[in-house]
Amino acid sequence: ESQRVNRYIWGLAPEIKAHVTSSQPATIQGAVSMANRLTTNGIKDGIFKKKENVRNKKRSNDQNRNRGRDDRNKRQRTGNNFAMNTPDQG
């Protein structure tokens, strides 16, 4: 049981790991409930910040870098559309 508790504590965030380790929980249920309470309180207090999605961050950096430049590849992206009109035979 103590090995399971140690494995669980090892995967926690460093801020929570210190508090759970210092309390020395005897069972896995005790460790889980304490970590849950500490995490919930940390989120409410703003200790933990939500990470920005890497894809969105990269996209915003690309947009800032390209702002103010003309689009040189626009002609390649826009296709040439030709239409042929035939007179009505009536």
pLDDT digit string (tens) for 17-45?
898 898 888 899 999 999 999 988 888 88
45 domain-assigned: yes
Alpha-carbon gap, residue 2 to 19, rounded angstroms: 17
pLDDT value of residue 87: 74
**Is the whole-model pTM more than 0.75?**
no
Q: Which residue pairs from 51-60 have beta carbons closer than 8 angstroms and sit at least 24 positions apart in sequence? A: none
pLDDT of residue 48: 75
What does the pLDDT read at residue 68? 59
Token digits for 8?
């669980």
CB distance 34 to 22 below 8 Å? no
Q: What pLDDT, on a 0 to 100 scale, did the predictor assign at position 45?
A: 84
Q: Residue 50: inside a domain, yes or no?
A: yes
Quote the domain boundaries for residue 55. 1-66
Q: Report residue 1 as tokens.
A: 């049981």
Count of domains observed in the chain: 1
